[in-house]
């Protein structure tokens, strides 16, 4: 079963615009990570935020975490055509696994 649910399922924007995608989860977590996947290939780690952190930045990425609402958001600023991919949140909790969400498919139009 999927713990995380990304929203929206699909997003189409123009190059240069910002892209925001959201993730909701069900149980308490130790950390939350965001991964990127290009057209059915392997996943690439983007950023990790711990449960005691509220915001984190990495280059053009900004992640927020609200544990009271069990939600996180990923903001990609000044998007590029190369950002076109699927983005997944993954939650780490008290088990030997990460639980991935269903993903947001982002398309950046040049």
Size of the site for another protein (CB under 8 A): 27
Angle, CA of 13, 65 and 97, to the nearest 5°: 100
Site string for another protein, 10-39 (x = CB under 8 A): --------------------xx-x-x----
Among 43, 64, 83, 107, binds another protein (CB under 8 A): 43
User: Which of 15/48 has CB closer to another protein?
Assistant: 48
Residue 93 interacts with another protein (CB under 8 A): yes or no: yes
For 24-42, b/e burial (b = at least 16 CB within 10 A) is bbeeebebbbbbbbeeeee
**Residue 10 Cα distances to 3, 55, 59, 92, 100, angstroms:** 18, 24, 23, 24, 16
CB of 86 to another protein, least distance (A): 9
Residues lying near another protein in the complex (CB under 8 A): 1-2, 4, 30-31, 33, 35, 40-45, 48, 88, 90, 92-93, 95-103
């Amino acid at each position: 079963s999927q713990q995380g649910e990304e929203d929206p399922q699909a997003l189409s924007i123009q190059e240069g615009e910002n892209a925001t995608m959201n993730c909701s989860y069900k149980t308490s977590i130790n950390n939350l990570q965001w991964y990127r996947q290009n057209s059915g290939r392997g996943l690439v780690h983007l950023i990790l935020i711990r449960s005691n952190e509220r915001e984190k930045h990495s280059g053009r990425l900004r992640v927020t975490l609200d544990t009271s609402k069990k939600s996180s958001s990923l903001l990609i600023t000044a998007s590029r055509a190369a950002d076109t991919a699927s983005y997944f949140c993954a939650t780490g909790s008290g088990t030997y696994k990460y639980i991935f969400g269903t993903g947001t498919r982002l398309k950046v139009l040049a």
